[in-house]
Structure 1
Amino acid sequence: MTSTDAQLLDTLAPLLAAESNAEAPAAGVEAGDLEQAVWLRLLERLQDDEAPTHPADWLRRAVRAEARRARRAALRERPYLGEEAAEPDDSPESSALVAERRRVVRAAVRRTPGHCPRLLTAMLDPADPTYREIAGELGISQGSLGPMRSRCLGCLRRMLAAEVPASTLRGRVR
């Protein structure tokens, strides 16, 4: 990097900070991240001996382009909310409690009356079948699936409430 490049960077630093602070909230990113991305783009250009002819204008366009890229990325990216996110504590105790909770629910599902065990098992399937697929598997109409599901879940809720007493009553611990 030449001394003129270093002087250019020193001159652009306040402008870049101001532009990044202005664009970052709308882009949903930190101003420092936006600033760093633009510095990287500028340094890559300088390394290839392609210094911008109008640095201030280039900088403003680069900040806006990086902000747009960040907004597009935020729209496409979704956080993974798998079992790891539901149970942040990876201790053996939490794993045992999760396994016990699942065992209790599965046992209660098997004890529900009528078509409920098959329906609830299909709904708990990790493949997450659609209503149409569940209705086809059970041999019932798709329209009756909602009311049947509601009855089965109510029955399951009552069974589990009888087995596991609530830990709080109107905000007070028992």
Structure 2
Amino acid sequence: MTDDLVAALGPLLTAEASAEAQACGSDPGDLEQTVWLRLLERLETHGPPRAPEDWLRRAVRAEARRTRRRARRERPYAAEPADRAAPSPEHRVLAAARHRALREAVARLPGRCPRLLQALFSPEDLTYREIAGELGISQGSLGPERSRCLGCLRRLLTPEVASREARG
């Protein structure tokens, strides 16, 4: 029943969401996804609507109105509140400890992983071509090598992160 309803309403929902999205300043995909969620909620509580096409049109328009109201009410911050305040001494100490732990973990990586990650994190913002030349490997192998090195780093850091969280 649900599969039939979804298949029948899919093209109509796409068309309605595309038409309403421009007026409310929303992405048609976001509007469409929200209406699908509303339909699923309705199916769980009240079952399928008697006139699904009419229900769908009303739901799309209602979501578009909600989006317009929300856009009128919400005002973005000029800056995040946390950005306005200087970090406390505790935050600076904790950040320094995290950076030190990361540097130590990178240094313990096997092979050329330490050099590769240091080049990738370099403040000089090196290109893949420059990194490949510096390490003496082909540019095409940097992606797979980076992925392998980050996986090793993740495995090295996981026990440290888990043990710190366990202590509270």
Output the TM-score relative to the length of structure 1. 0.45
* Larger Rg, first or second structure (1 or 2): 1
Output the TM-score relative to the length of structure 2. 0.47
Higher share in helix: 2
